[in-house]
Chains A and B, each alone.
Chain A
Amino acid sequence: MKTKILLLTGISLLALLLGIALGSIRISPAEIGHIIGYQLFGLALPNQMKATTAAILWDVRLPRALLAFTAGAALSVSGTVMQSVMRNPLASSYTLGVSSGASLGACLVILFGGSLPFTANAALPVSGFVFGLLTIFLSLGFVKRLDGYMSNNTIILVGMVFSLFINSITTLLSFIERDHIERLLYWQMGSFSLKDWPAVWILVPVTLSGTIWITHYNRELDMMTFGEEQAMTMGVNLKTVKLLLLVLAAALTGASIAFCGVIGFVDLVAPHIIRKIFGASHRVVLPMSALFGGAFMVVCDLTARTVASPGELPVGAVTAMIGAPFFSYLYFKKTKKD
């Protein structure tokens, strides 16, 4: 187990480094060293280096790779929690309506954003995050009225109904205000392009603390996967923990969507792959999912921005394109052996 953990940690770090070192423009390791030395320690840049080269690495690529890693980690941890809490291999924050809520929030800003009291850059993520969370609160509140036990099937069903309903509002709004459809579309496809350092400074601590908080409940999560009745006999205060975990997981997804748009697949697949390799204990699965999801997302983003160079593919399309074959290979190969 220990070697596996070390191996995955090593691979993740390597992926992150590759994401920083590679791009559509070649920057040599020596140059990278100079630029980092210049930014962190104020060392002088070599005279022949162009200012734009330094900007490509420091302002474009570095925040981008870090953001991709963090978003991938947040989504994977969130997916793990949702699947375990719901005891459903297909459950995710998306099925519970977080992404459709966030899309509506973004849609409102894009269509009517002119008069908001935020600067344009902050309004979109804030509104996306708030609406994403609002959706899950609304749907959980609705579930509570319908079903006092808050059973998983009710939560998933209500989540999907809410999700579809909110999607239809977004569709209608964007259909009426068609001039802005392009911007909304790109937002929904997800991208790590042109994100500034502030996005990193917000998403990294949010993801880190969220993951630690969730990992704190790893015992409860282990028990929930056995089933609600068992968990209850073991004395877990199920409803409170369940609600807290759902909200935390939704917040992680919401934060990632808010900055990077709707990126699917990784939250579904990362937990399955990690459980195949590391077993079921959440104390290991949660942090490993974070590492794997982060590394996976960096590789996807790297592919998205280099394969069609000098153009760029939407990263949301790349995750499934790379992920699906990889997932099938790993999942079914392992299944055969068992």
Chain B
Amino acid sequence: MKLKKRIVLLLLTMNIALYATGCASAQATTQNIQTTSDIITQDREGNPITLPETIETIVSMGPSNTEILSALGMADKIIAADTYSTGIAGLAEDIPLFSMMELDGEQMIHLEPDIIFVTGMSKTDSNDPFQIVADTGICVVYIPSSTSIEGIKEDIRYLAKVMNASEKGTEILSEMEQEINAVAQIGSSITDRKSVYFEIAAAPGMYSFGSGVFLNEMLDIIGADNILADQESWMSVTDETILNQNPDVILTSVDYLDDPVADIMSRPGWETITAIQNNDVYYIDTDSSNRPSHHIITALKEMAKAVYPEYFE
């Protein structure tokens, strides 16, 4: 029972964090002004910060931050990261990895990094676990997980500026925009739009998303309609709803089952769904579809090819 309570709590805080970041990203556009000025005085959450003169050592808590830092060519400066960041290109293999949920503040202070990037996932309203770290004079920068593509771009712009690598940042952004535009151009020409159910957690406890999530924007870009577009944010969904909406294609980013596609194909009653009848159930890479970084391009292309193989090569 105790275990159950703890995990429920954990899940709740994760959800709260998701919602909280949902609100935070709404401020993304207003902070445009802030990043265009020369000196950075705030983090992406709006907290006042003072950046160190030079940044030689980084702790990156949050795989999306690590991915962006790596793309900016800063991977070798990362001296510690979160456990999900393992395997990201350029990251040294022997660095300490911290759990996002149970922070080892002692070790983190001991490492004496110049800067720590965090997502706010570990934060609750009354309790900021990084406060003790910040109190020792280490610069803690909050970059809440973005929920829109615009927010992701802003994160990249911001990180590039903090790391004094704006040029590289612009390069990443323009490449990202180019790729998105290429897909969007074909996507917008599609008149016979398909409906899609995108599963991010399998049954029981199926999870998907409505509007206000970058994945929903991505579905729109490839020229498809999310069957839950009239809902908001990340959400749980019942099988009755999915059956009633009868999606043309089902996508899943679930990676904790051996065969998430077979799992969907074998659900009772689902054989009446168009997507199942046509065998249109596809796996989309988990990391690139779930993490708000420039890697969403990989997921975007996979999604486009899965839903409209006849349009996207």
What 1/0 flags go to A191-215 for Cβ under 8 Å of B?
Answer: 1011111000000000000000000
Q: Does A183 contact B (CB under 8 A)?
A: yes
CA distance A174 to B255 in the complex (A): 16
Chain B nearest CB, measured from A27 CB (Å) = 9
Instruction: Decide if the interface of chain A is mainly helix, strand, loop or mixed.
Output: helix
Q: Please pick, from B11, B237, B268, the residue contacting A195 in the complex, using a CB distance under 8 A.
A: B268
CA distance A167 to B237 in the complex (A): 30
Stretch in B74-82, B122-130, B198-206 with 4+ CB within 8 Å of A:
B198-206
Q: Are the C-beta atoms of A311 and B236 separated by less than 8 Å? A: yes
Q: Please pick, from B206, B235, B240, B258, the residue contacting A24 in the complex, using a CB distance under 8 A.
A: B240
Stretch in B1-9, B111-119, B149-157, B301-309 with 4+ CB within 8 Å of A:
B1-9
Chain B nearest CB, measured from A12 CB (Å) = 23
Most chain A Cβ neighbours within 10 Å, of B2, B246, B256, B269 = B269
Q: Does A9 contact B (CB under 8 A)?
A: no
B 267-313 contacts with A by CB, 8 A: 267-273
Chain B nearest CB, measured from A283 CB (Å) = 33
CA distance A313 to B237 in the complex (A): 9
Q: Are the C-beta atoms of B241 and A24 separated by less than 8 Å? A: yes
Chain A nearest CB, measured from B196 CB (Å) = 15
Q: Does A60 contact B (CB under 8 A)?
A: yes
Q: Does B27 contact A (CB under 8 A)?
A: no
CA distance A309 to B228 in the complex (A): 12
Q: Please pick, from B2, B11, B246, B269, the residue contacting A60 in the complex, using a CB distance under 8 A.
A: B269
CA distance A311 to B232 in the complex (A): 11
Most chain B Cβ neighbours within 10 Å, of A103, A171, A179, A310 = A310
Chain A nearest CB, measured from B84 CB (Å) = 10
Q: Does B257 contact A (CB under 8 A)?
A: yes
Q: Does A90 contact B (CB under 8 A)?
A: no
Q: A60-B268, A60-B269, A167-B3 are in contact. Are A52 and B246 (CB under 8 A)?
A: yes
Residue of B nearest to A120 (CB): B258
Q: Are the C-beta atoms of B256 and A180 separated by less than 8 Å? A: yes
Q: Are the C-beta atoms of A314 and B205 separated by less than 8 Å? A: yes
What 1/0 flags go to B204-233 for Cβ under 8 Å of A?
Answer: 111000000000000000000000100100
Q: Does B238 contact A (CB under 8 A)?
A: yes
Q: Are the C-beta atoms of A194 and B256 separated by less than 8 Å? A: no
- CB-CB under 8 A from A103, the residues of chain B are 3
Q: Does B244 contact A (CB under 8 A)?
A: yes
CA distance A25 to B238 in the complex (A): 10
Q: Are the C-beta atoms of B243 and A194 separated by less than 8 Å? A: no
What 1/0 flags go to B177-207 for Cβ under 8 Å of A?
Answer: 0000000000000000000000001111110
Q: Does B45 contact A (CB under 8 A)?
A: no
Q: Are the C-beta atoms of B268 and A197 separated by less than 8 Å? A: yes
Q: Please pick, from B83, B202, B206, B270, the residue contacting A55 in the complex, using a CB distance under 8 A.
A: B270
Q: Please pick, from A191, A194, A305, the residue contacting B267 in the complex, using a CB distance under 8 A.
A: A194
Q: Are the C-beta atoms of A309 and B3 separated by less than 8 Å? A: no
Q: Are the C-beta atoms of B205 and A51 separated by less than 8 Å? A: no
Chain A nearest CB, measured from B214 CB (Å) = 20
With A23-B238, A50-B272, A55-B243 given, can you name 6 additional A-B contacts, CB distance below 8 Å?
A52-B272, A53-B244, A54-B272, A188-B3, A193-B239, A311-B236
30 contacts between A and B (CB under 8 A): A23-B240, A24-B240, A25-B241, A50-B246, A56-B240, A56-B243, A56-B244, A58-B269, A59-B269, A60-B240, A103-B3, A170-B3, A178-B83, A180-B256, A182-B201, A182-B256, A183-B256, A185-B7, A186-B204, A189-B4, A193-B204, A193-B205, A193-B239, A197-B268, A264-B1, A305-B238, A310-B237, A311-B235, A312-B206, A314-B205
Chain A residues packing against B (C-beta within 8 Å): 23-25, 50-56, 58-61, 63, 94, 103, 114, 120-121, 167, 170-171, 174, 178-189, 191, 193-197, 261-262, 264, 305, 308-314
